[in-house]
Amino acid sequence: IIIPNNFTKIGELTFLNCKSLIKVIIPSSITDIYKSAFEGCSSLSIITIPNSIVQIGNYAFEGCSSLKEITIPDSVIQIGISTFRKCVSLKNIII
């Protein structure tokens, strides 16, 4: 999925349990990823988080069991609780 440039936030529960979602490209217009935005996206393996993101909400990626690596840019000032809970394949978090 490619999120259009006219969005500024990924809302709470936006992609909850989208089990077929594999890849997400987030544009630099997005500043916040809210609570449980990608929770339960068990096939999600590729996500690009731009330098515009300042907040990643609670449980945002919980249960993304195919996610192997994620890079958190310097712009992020807050990461919520249990953001990567149950991400059993996640081996690298680069901050």
C-beta atoms surrounding 39 within 10 Å = 25
End-to-end Cα spacing for the chain: 24
Confidence band (pLDDT; 50, 70, 90) for 1?
Answer: confident
Distance in angstroms (rounded) separating the CA atoms of residues 31 and 88: 27
pLDDT of residue 35: 98
Question: pLDDT digit string (tens) for 25-76?
Answer: 999 999 999 999 999 999 999 998 999 999 999 999 999 999 999 999 999 9
Specify whether the CB–CB gap between 92 and 69 falls below 8 A.
yes
Distance in angstroms (rounded) separating the CA atoms of residues 90 and 5: 28
- pTM of the entire structure? 0.93
Compute φ and ψ for 10, nearest 5 degrees.
-105, 110
pLDDT of residue 19: 96
